[in-house]
């Protein structure tokens, strides 16, 4: 699916360029500022708990658990570069489209912030034999040092913008309104955690805390495409150099939400508001 926007864009530009309607090519470089977003979701599930009452009996409970989970997206600076074609429709109106590469990075934090337990039923049961899976610990979790919380996510997106421009004040100021379609090309999600490694010995299981670093470049959690709306203002500094200020709102989420993802622990609610500032350099088409 990622090749579809490229095919549409290339065909569109080739037809217009060959027909002589495309009269300007330009390059735009922008810095993006993403809005911080946070979501809270409550979900419920049932679980069994058991605890010893005495040496002969345990108390077993079926409990309804309600958990409130919070997920926060803390963006870092992003940037993007475009190659753009301007197609003149009239003296005041032009169509601008092109192809761009966008880089976005953010830190994702999440976890339970509240929980409630409601006992549905409880019974006494015969005492169970409890055996520890670890008889000896070779180290402690504090020996691992600081474990970075959250997920650091970086994404390179391919973007196809298309917008209508209207000229004000002798082409000094342009207002552009349009849409963008983007699709992820490369992504990487970095996180840290720990695990317990067990080793059997004559004196019981020896356990060691081990720090692990994860790098996921599969992109499986990302949507194949996103659509959004944009508004840009262009101010002409020199004849072929313009200052661009923009606002972009994505309408669809950056992340996949599958039907089986009933717990809100997946990254599935990112529709950011993006502010941008950049420079556009134009190459006038020679006659």
Residue-level pLDDT at 112: 77
- Whether 277 is in a domain gets the answer yes
Supply the pLDDT for residue 264.
41
- Give residue 22's pLDDT: 52
Q: pTM of the predicted model, to two decimals? A: 0.74
**What CATH number did the domain enclosing 87 receive?**
2.40.160.20
Residue 275 included in any domain: yes
**pLDDT per residue as tens, the chain (287 positions):** 454 555 555 555 555 554 455 568 899 999 999 888 887 778 788 888 888 888 788 888 889 988 887 888 888 879 999 999 998 888 889 999 999 999 999 888 877 788 888 989 888 888 777 666 788 888 988 888 888 888 888 999 999 999 999 988 777 899 999 999 999 999 998 888 888 998 887 777 889 999 999 888 887 778 788 899 999 999 999 888 999 999 999 888 877 654 434 444 444 567 888 999 999 999 865 44
Domain assignment present for residue 267? The answer is yes
For residue 263, the enclosing domain spans: 4-128+151-190+216-284
The answer to whether position 13 is within a domain reads yes
CB 233 within 8 A of CB 173: yes
- Whole-number pLDDT of residue 214: 87
Q: Residue 286: its pLDDT value, please? A: 43
Q: Do the beta carbons of residue 106 and residue 76 sit within 8 Å?
A: yes
Categorise residue 240: left if φ over 0, alpha if ψ from -120 to 50, beta otherwise.
Answer: alpha
**Tell me, what's the pLDDT at 269?**
66
Residue 209 lies in a domain: no
Residue 140 lies in a domain: no
**Alpha helices, DSSP H, located in 117-272:** none
Longest dimension (CA), the chain: 97
- Residue 196: strand pairing partners: 209
Number of domains in the chain: 1
Q: Is residue 200 part of a domain?
A: no
**Under 8 Å between Cβ of 58 and 48:** no
Specify if 146 maps to a domain: no
Torsion of CA 112, 118, 123, 125, to 10 degrees: 10
| Cβ neighbours, 10 Å, residue 230 | 19
Half-sphere exposure of 45 (CA within 13 A, CB side): 8
């Amino acid at each position: 699916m990622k090749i579809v926007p490229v095919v549409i864009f290339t065909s569109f530009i080739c037809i217009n360029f060959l027909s002589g309607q495309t009269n300007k090519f330009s390059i735009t470089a922008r810095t993006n500022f993403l809005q911080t977003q946070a979501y809270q979701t409550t979900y419920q599930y049932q679980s069994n708990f058991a605890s010893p009452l005495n040496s002969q009996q345990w108390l077993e409970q079926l409990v309804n658990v309600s958990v409130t989970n919070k997920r926060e997206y803390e963006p870092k600076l992003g940037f993007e570069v475009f190659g753009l074609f301007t197609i003149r429709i009239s003296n005041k109106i032009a169509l601008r489209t092109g192809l761009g590469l966008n880089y976005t990075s953010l830190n994702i934090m999440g976890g339970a912030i509240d929980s409630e337990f409601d006992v549905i039923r409880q019974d006494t049961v015969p005492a169970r034999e409890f055996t520890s899976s670890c008889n000896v610990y070779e180290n402690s979790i504090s020996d691992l040092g600081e474990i970075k919380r959250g997920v650091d996510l970086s994404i390179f997106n391919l973007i196809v913008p298309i917008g209508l421009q209207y000229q004000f004040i002798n082409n000094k100021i342009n207002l552009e309104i349009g849409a963008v379609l983007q699709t992820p090309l490369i992504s990487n999600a970095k996180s840290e955690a720990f695990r317990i490694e067990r080793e059997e010995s004559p004196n019981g299981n020896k356990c060691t805390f081990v720090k692990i670093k994860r790098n996921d470049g599969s992109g499986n959690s990302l949507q194949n495409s996103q659509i959004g709306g944009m508004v840009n203002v262009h101010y002409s500094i020199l004849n072929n150099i313009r200052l661009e200020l923009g606002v972009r709102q994505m309408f669809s989420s950056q992340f996949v939400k599958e039907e089986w993802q009933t717990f809100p622990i997946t990254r599935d609610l990112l529709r950011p508001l993006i502010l941008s500032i950049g420079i556009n350099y134009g190459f006038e088409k020679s006659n």
